[in-house]
Structure 1
């Protein structure tokens, strides 16, 4: 098992909450992490039809099997359990009694907010972070390979072809989660929607264009995007709100939590294709955004991440807020830097009165300290939030 940074957070929350919940996309390592940190607890998956039937029809007897708690996997499949868990943990009084996992955040959060509010510590577990792979000696040797492979744990722990794994992942996701969350009659159409979204990575969300490309309504696009968000596949990065007396873009940008999945959806089938692909820059930008989310989630923080753009075309790829301090980040996929690449950050400094840090992350190998910004190489993305 690759050591997960969220393990310390998970153990800490189990000391202060009777229930701990681990949410994240399928195959991100939720079950492995829970079993590693709480090896003494029995493990039950509610994906199993017989187990789920037992829990649905006799929840009191089902939970009585576990007087010292348990790991309940995909617990959102049995929403009535939340009410019974409330009574058990309130009577028992012990911390870290039950560990819940789920891959559909809206369903899980709804059950928690209705029955277990104030009793649950939340951990959001995304695919492997770059520094986790680096510590394990598994980080790909080149940026293009990292973009292509992505960061789902099975890619690094099983002898499987990357493109075959993602093909099966998408198929399983469509069959399981989409049918559970929404009534999609045409799964091929939903897969087309996924591919169209991949082509919009790093762009402002244009509901009309996506709808036209897929042959569906804007209302359906919005609903399906919400499904992707609920399953931790995509994130809509919101524009920064501070005005600076400028007309600002108010539309969010679209990103995925994993670049390997994006590459598969784009039809990229080997590393060589990444090097010359028209979306390589967008893929690297996506990588930086997703790594920042992972780093902050692993520390138990809610990611305060935006982008900034005005109507005149001035833009900063990412704005981070940590403890009231702002960091403006520009992303460049090339291995060499030119002075022109710092123009966006220079404009930001003039606009904000040189407030906060300015950083530029690039596809090269050397860290630098420039007058305008600190330069961070692609291998040290955790340094953006550290």
Structure 2
């Protein structure tokens, strides 16, 4: 099984918390992972409901009576955001069963990136719930599955959604990603109640891809789409809520320098990014003006999926263009300044050195596309992506 990074956390949650929520975008493999792992010996039978099926949804017309029938069983409820009123009922059932001595997980909930899901469940199930996020395939998952055969280029180009990455050909992968984007804007986003024109959302998503790795000028996009700045901000929030976009916030530590205050925008899955930019082959990616930004986003996403909550990530840019691609602040007062370079012979501008002084970096690194590890002047370490990710895992 490829998805080893999340296995232990999910099993631990199932054995220790009454409710576990597995969140992530559609088609990322939440259902497959949940069903596979819950086939393990958890000491109780499994019952599965998919709330996208009318037949299963109808079973919850009298939800409390129905769910009471499954005491000492693990109830897996897929697409839970379609019935948010369940959370209040689940709280009552959990408390009753807890008093009866039932300590292991009673409900495993699967949700496709809904802010309402998070807000509703946090209000009604505080202290009874654990959240886990399933992202598309990552470098470390695939590397651990096959260290000798792993090649990051395929993952970088196709992205990590299983059906895209595992497709027979690049053409099949391209077709899957095209259909995924179309279905997301025409069916999935409206299904969650977002009242957005499918055509306009697809145009916005494509325009946003051209700002990948930059501060998006939302006012320019709003003008092009003939909508208000507030509407464009809503579109951006929707894509973030559905795990399609990551906003990397600017560093906010103490410095006398004037700092850029807008977040940088990244399309989280580089396969989708390349589709939105109409880059149909790896060779064309290598010659594209955004190849460096694509690689930067790929690296940042893979790092972000490994970080524990006690790490804070940001970027640094001052008004005089001193810049650090990624700043990681760890629990032991560590401040890592990370520059990301696609070149196998990376060079650094003076702005990086100045920025490291501004934030008082305790460690300075360059992550590049090679595999060797070597020093540069100024106490800077050059390291490959896999080696850096191993380092992060050891720190966690």
Structure-1-length-normalised TM-score: 0.92
Report the equivalent of 1:127.
136
Report the equivalent of 1:193.
204
Q: Quote how far apart the aligned CAs of 1:329 are.
A: 0.5
RMSD: 2.0
Report the equivalent of 1:70.
75
Instruction: Establish whether residue 95 from structure 1 lines up as the match of residue 104 from structure 2.
Output: yes
Question: Which residues of structure 2 form unaligned runs of 5+?
Answer: 40-44
Report the equivalent of 2:354.
347
Summarize the alignment of residues 1-386 of structure 1 with structure 2, pairs less than 5 Å apart: 1-39=1-39, 40-55=45-60, 57-67=61-71, 68-93=73-98, 94-137=103-146, 143-159=152-168, 161-179=172-190, 180-184=192-196, 186-296=197-307, 301=309, 304-323=312-331, 324-338=333-347, 341=348, 343-353=350-360, 355-371=361-377, 372-383=379-390, 385-386=392-393
Q: Quote how far apart the aligned CAs of 1:384 are.
A: 5.9
Q: Quote how far apart the aligned CAs of 1:175 are.
A: 2.8
For residues 383 and 284 of structure 2, what CA distance do their matches in structure 1 show? 25
Q: Quote how far apart the aligned CAs of 1:226 are.
A: 0.7
Q: Quote how far apart the aligned CAs of 1:283 are.
A: 0.2
For residues 193 and 157 of structure 1, what CA distance do their matches in structure 2 show? 28
Moved more, 155-164 or 118-127: 155-164
Q: Which has the higher contact order (CA 8 A, sep 6+)?
A: 1
SS in 2 for 1:295: coil
Q: Quote how far apart the aligned CAs of 1:157 are.
A: 4.1
For residues 234 and 148 of structure 2, what CA distance do their matches in structure 1 show? 36
For residues 188 and 175 of structure 1, what CA distance do their matches in structure 2 show? 8
CA contact (8 A) 1:143 1:378 kept: no
CA contact (8 A) 1:292 1:384 kept: no
Cα 1:381–1:231 shift into 2, 3 Å = farther
Q: Quote how far apart the aligned CAs of 1:302 are.
A: 6.1
Q: Quote how far apart the aligned CAs of 1:137 are.
A: 2.4
1:51-78 per-position Cα deviation (integer Å, ceiling 9, x unaligned):
12332x2111331342213111111111
For residues 35 and 379 of structure 1, what CA distance do their matches in structure 2 show? 29
For residues 101 and 302 of structure 1, what CA distance do their matches in structure 2 show? 25
